[in-house]
Structures are given as C-alpha cells and as structure tokens.
Amino acid sequence: MPEFKKPGPRPANEALTRPFWEAAQQHRFVVPQCVACDDFFWPPRAACPSCLREAWKWAEVSGRARLYSFTIVRQPANPAFLEGVPYVYALVDLEEGIRMVSNVVDCLLDDLQNEMSLVAMFEEMGDGWTLVKFRPARRQAR
C-alpha cells in the first residue's frame, strides 16, 4: 500500500453535504440556493449568508463558469498528488454567482487565461467519490 493516498472529501458535517456528493456521483452539479431570497451560496452551511434563513434547497447549476485565478502546483501538500504535477489549482466563478476551488483539467498550462470560459465535468476518484472539476468550454458555433 502506498504511503500517501489522495484524500477524498472529508466533510465536517456529513449530513449537511451528502446530497452534493450523491448528486456528483450521478453527474449532477448542485449547490445551495435560498428558498427565501433565491441567492445561490457556497460553501453549503446551515443558513443562507444573505438572509440567515435556514430554508434552502439544492439547485442544479449549468456548470458554465469563468476562470477567476489560478496557481500551478509544483509542490503539493500531500505527496500523493506529486504524480500529477504540474497541475492547476483554481478559483472558478460559476455563472450563478458563486466561487469555488477546483482543478482546471484538459488544458495546456500556456493556454490558461483569467476569465476564460469553463464547463464543469465529473471525475471519479475511486472509493465512491466523484469530484466536480472544470475544463475549457468548446468554442460555440455562431
């Protein structure tokens, strides 16, 4: 058994975020949306940060996003990730107005650009976990 292993998501509150990970397994991308004020928010938490109401639902999002900022990892904290270096650790802005940490994959490092269009994709990491990652959006025919 290798000494280091890529960690799966380890939730602080498993009951709270289980629907997200179950949806990801089915290749559906859901995020919290407040029932009262309609705001999307991230990360999941007990109450909507816009109005502090606890009534929120999981809403499916388009997966369309822009690359806000990125850093190229050469020295990962967990050596299990060394096999993939260099890779892209990024802040991604969803069109629904929330931001999350993810990886940008299927993109040459030289082609990375702030504000480039991305789309969400799903990557199985074994152990039953599926991660939401992002890749460059295909140019749309006009």
Partner 1 sequence: MEQIDSTIRGRTAIVGFAELPTQRTYPGRSTLSLFAEVARDAILDAGMRLAEIDGLITGDSTNSLLVAQTLGLTPRYTASMTLHGANGASAVATAAAAIAAGLATNVLCIFGESRPASSSRLNAEAVARDGGGPRTLASEWEAPYGPVIAANGGYGLMKQRHMFQYGTTQEQFAKCVVDERFNAVENANALWVGDLITIDDVLASRMTNDPLHLLEGVMPCSGANAAIVTSAERARTLPHPPVFILGVGGPVVTNDTMRTSHDITVSPTAIAAPLALAMAGYAPPDIEFVQFYDCYSIYVMMCIEDAGLCPKGEVGGFYQDTDTTYLGTFPINTDGGQIGGGQPTGAGGFRHVVEAARQIMRRGGSRQVPKADLCLVNGNGGIASVVTTLVLGSAATL
| Binding site residues, partner 1, CB under 8 A | 3-4, 6-12, 17, 42-43, 68-81, 84, 86-87, 89-91, 93, 97-103, 114, 125, 129, 131, 133
Chain-centre distance for alpha carbon 66: 12
Question: CB-wise, 110 or 141, nearer to partner 1?
Answer: 110
Q: Measure Cα distances from 86 to 6, 77, 120 in Å.
A: 16, 13, 20
Question: CB-wise, 34 or 133, nearer to partner 1?
Answer: 133
Concatenating the DSSP letter of every residue in 37-60 gives T--B-SS--SS-TTT----EEEEE
Smallest separation, CB 140 to partner 1 (Å): 24
Smallest separation, CB 131 to partner 1 (Å): 6
Question: CB-wise, 5 or 141, nearer to partner 1?
Answer: 5
Smallest separation, CB 86 to partner 1 (Å): 8
Question: CB-wise, 10 or 138, nearer to partner 1?
Answer: 10
Give the span between the Cα atoms of 110 and 18, in whole angstroms: 36
Quick one: DSSP state of residue 139?
P
